[in-house]
Amino acid sequence: QKFLSLYGDQIDMHRKFVVQLFAEEWSQYIDLPKGFLVSERCKLRLVPLQIQMTTLGNLTPSSTVFFCCDMQERFRPAIKYFGDIISVGQRLLQGARLLGIPVIVTEQYPKGLGSTVQEIDLTGAKLVLPKTKFSMVLPEVEAALAEIPGVRSVVLFGVETHVCIQQTALELIGRGLEVHIVADATSSRSMMDRMFALERLARTGIIVTTSEAILLQLVADKEHPKFKEIQNLIKASAPESGLLSKV
């Protein structure tokens, strides 16, 4: 317990560990048996178990929050497929309102980069916050998350994939949250930066998915009372652009 109180925040929470004791008589570390009590000074170490932790990726509206990252006017001419990700982002936010899912929005240095684009309706957003940090994980965002009971999953989209999206996702999984990145609502100035960021994030256990998969997973059943409205959102979407082919 003392070790964990001192070094617990440095431990990768996605790994499991075994506690070992240094045995003087054998001059090596041995596993501590279950229920073992330490009654005198000794050498202990934590050894990570190299196992693959599977992320199931189940989504339910009651345990999900949407993060919309820096979809701002000044990025319009620079970000590849920006018009497409605006359309998809707006569809996701409409879906969030239908399903009662909280939405957190950030704007990167809005004084210089402008506000969120007018096409995206932020009505009902839980939090719209300016920032200078690249990650969305700010004290105000953490406080907002703490106010939402049972949050397990974050659906994340916006720009840029290799900067603010990547840093946000890594901080969120470091806090034990499951992250779903919406590939057709996430882009960068460079498709190479975007591609390598998505590959890196997928290797860490973050789920790279699509807007349609997210929305249908959240309703989960044709008999869901909001299914028809979600289905109409999907049907109203524009034909697929070239963005998903560049994941």
Do 19 and 46 meet the contact criterion of CB atoms below 8 Å apart?
yes
Active site residue 164: yes
Choosing from 68, 70, 80, 84, the catalytic residue is 70
Tell which residue, 4, 14, 37, 63, has the closest CA to residue 217.
Answer: 63
Q: Which of 131, 112, 130 is nearest to 74 (CA)?
A: 112
**In angstroms, what CA-CA distances link 122 with 4, 109, 229, 233?**
42, 18, 19, 17
Query: CA 178, CA 153: separation in Å to the nearest integer?
Result: 5
Q: What are phi and psi of 142, to 5 degrees?
A: -65, -40
Give CA–CA dist 123/49, Å, rounded: 46
- Of the candidates 68, 69, 80, 131, the residue annotated as catalytic is 131
Residues 223-230: contacts with CB under 8 Å, at least 24 apart? 226/98, 226/99, 229/98, 230/95, 230/98, 230/99
Q: Compute the distance between CA of residue 68 and CA of residue 165 in angstroms, rounded to an integer.
A: 9
Catalytic positions, written as ranges? 70, 131, 164
